[in-house]
Amino acid sequence: MALMPCWQIDDEVRVIRNVRDDGTFPGAQMGDLLIRRGSVGVIRDIGTFLQDQIVYSVHFYAENRLIGCREEELIGLAEAWTPSRFEFRDKVQSRAVLKVAGEALVGVGDAGEILKVVRDHPGGPAYHVHFAILPGRVLLIPETMLESPA
């Protein structure tokens, strides 16, 4: 079975997941963030991994980095993309008192961590957030109700 690439050399693409070092990027430590989701680059080479995955060498302009990306990590530049202010694992704090069914659960400035980005939420990006004051509970919070910690 021959693998057919979605893109060709010189096609512009956007990465839709944060890309972290898997231990193969020179000068980086395993787990280091190499490219942030939403970054734009151009396909420079096409190869395979384990004979069943297409891997694209993508040159990301702003970062001036050549990174190997799997097909499922990329979309075409013309495809719909909703940027978000926060990403997975980002630390945030509440901008207001957050209530569920009239009960105040989170106060202004309470610290939380992003667990998931929901880009297609009505009204703009929202996030699954775990707040330290709510052990074991995750809330869906619109971007407008969150800010970066001071």
> Is 2 part of a structural domain of the chain?
no
CA distance 117 to 92: 13
Same domain, yes or no: 96 and 70:
no
**69 shares its domain with 95:** no
Q: Are residues 106 and 54 in the same domain?
A: no
85 occurs within a structural domain: no
This prediction has a pTM of 0.66
What is the predicted pLDDT for the residue at 26? 83
Is residue 46 situated within a structural domain? yes
Question: 17 and 69: one domain?
Answer: yes
Predicted pLDDT of residue 2? 59
For the chain, 150 residues long, give each residue's pLDDT as a single digit of tens: 556 778 889 999 999 888 888 878 888 888 888 898 889 999 998 887 777 778 899 999 988 999 998 888 899 998 888 888 888 888 999 999 999 999 999 999 999 999 988 888 888 899 999 999 999 999 999 999 999 987
CA distance 109 to 81: 30
pLDDT of residue 105: 94
**How many CB atoms within 10 Å of residue 44?**
12
Q: With contact defined as beta carbons under 8 Å apart, do 144 and 124 qualify?
A: yes
* Pair 69, 100 in one domain: no
pLDDT of residue 133: 93
Per the structure, the count of domains in the chain is: 2
> Can you give the pLDDT at residue 43?
96
Domain holding 59, by residue range, is 12-76
- Length of the chain in terms of residues written: 150
